[in-house]
Amino acid sequence: MDVVSHQEARWHAFENSKKHSIQRLDIHLPGQYRVANLDQIQEDLADIEQRGSTLDAYFKYNKQIKELRELSQSNVDLDNMEYHYYWQMPEHFRWVGRSSKWERRIRHRRVIGRIHNVNYAAQPELYHLRLLLYHIKDATNFEDLRTVNDTQYQTYKQACLARGLAYDDQQWIEGLRESALSKMPVAMRSLFIQILIYGSPENPKRLWDTFKENLSEDFIHAARRNGQSVNSAINRAYRIIAHKLNTKATEGRNFQYWVRTFGFEDIGDYDIEINQSTVNADESAVLEEQMYLQLRGKQVDIVKEILYALNDTNTEKMFFIDGPGGNWENIYL
């Protein structure tokens, strides 16, 4: 049974002529093939590994061209031995499934090649592999895609960075640094979580090490008032972040990935339970941020002075605010 989209169904219903056909192209990491039937996954995997995918056949084609070009024989028709981008293959070649190879087309056909979509948040490496295939036409294997100027990078994302096809973590650093100037810690933690889940930074631990004090500022203040260590406050912020990652990072991500990346192997219980006091602290922080954003002019200076006094044991803790009605003294309180 063939399943078509509603756009294609409508196109057929109105009996419009068919302009182009679509050839779906495989995309996968080395040895990690897509399998549709989970009931016989072992049989399907063995069959795919033996036959190869459209991507494997593309690499074989490029390898043949490279070998022929290196021979430099006069009888070799180099015009027919040119490289193509992966997505261009269906335009010039037809895919023979039984023999798993690309054969040059004798007659021109209107065929569009489309590489399968990849979820950036769930599979960042596969996403960047796909990005490289759109910009490199002479790769003979997966390693060639990770090689830039004779330097072979460990990940496809690093190769994309070297080619200028992706951005490094500087954009996240600048965003967090700007947020630290005005946002409350609870909002900082929320932003940090969004970056980790949907931004897929190259070095999450670097972001954590750079901004962990900003992410833990409210807990650090409370720890100092209670005579507790700063590390315990930072660890508390980490546990909240880790808990939310464990509940939100559901798109193919394993929570252990975040633990390994941050280097918190010493925390044994990954299934973190947040007690009621922590939840209440989070809710209070949200309310504090909302009220803080309502402050104007010298009101901000007053609040900062009071907060500073709360964290300084040598400063008086009593203040008198003298102002006419309508100065929002209740917000200070």
* Per-residue model confidence as pLDDT tens digits over 181-211: 888 899 999 999 888 877 778 778 888 889 9
Query: In this model, does residue 60 exceed pLDDT 50?
Result: yes
What is the average pLDDT across 165-171? 84
Between 133 and 264, name the one with better pLDDT.
133
User: What pLDDT, on the 0 to 100 scale, is given for residue 200?
Assistant: 73
Q: Which two tokens stand for residue 7?
A: 């756009």
Supply the mean pLDDT for the chain: 77
Q: 185: exposed, middle or buried (C-beta count within 10 Å: 0-12, 13-18, 19+)?
A: buried
Confidence band for 252, pLDDT divided at 50, 70 and 90: very low
User: What pLDDT, on the 0 to 100 scale, is given for residue 50?
Assistant: 61
Between 100 and 275, name the one with better pLDDT.
100
User: What pLDDT, on the 0 to 100 scale, is given for residue 227?
Assistant: 86
CA distances from 166 to 17, 116, 157 (A): 40, 20, 7
User: What pLDDT, on the 0 to 100 scale, is given for residue 273?
Assistant: 38
Query: In this model, does residue 294 exceed pLDDT 90?
Result: no
Q: Three-state secondary structure along the chain?
A: CCCCCHHHHHHHHCCCCCCCEEEEECCCCCCCCCCCCHHHHHHHHHHHHHHCCHHHHHHHHHHHHHHHHHHCCCCCCHHHCCCCCHHHHHHHEEEECCCCEEEECCCCCCEEEEECCCCCCCCHHHHHHHHHHCCCCCCCCHHHHCEECCEECCCHHHHHHHHCCCCCCHHHHHHHHHHHCCCCHHHHHHHHHHHHHHHCCCCHHHHHHHHHHHHCHHHHHHHHHCCCCHHHHHHHHHHHHHHHHHHHCCCCCCHHHHHHHHCCCCCCCCCCCCCHHHHHHHHHHHHHHHHHCCCCCHHHHHHHHHHHHHHCCCCCCCCCCCCCCCCCHHHHC
Question: What percentage of residues in the chain have a pLDDT greater than 90?
Answer: 23
What is the average pLDDT across 254-278? 45
What is the average pLDDT across 253-274? 45
What is the average pLDDT across 50-78? 79
Kindly report the pTM of this predicted structure: 0.57
* Per-residue model confidence as pLDDT tens digits over 26-40: 899 988 877 665 555
* Per-residue model confidence as pLDDT tens digits over 301-322: 887 788 777 777 677 777 777 6
**Nearest in space to 262 (alpha carbons), one of 246, 290, 242:** 242
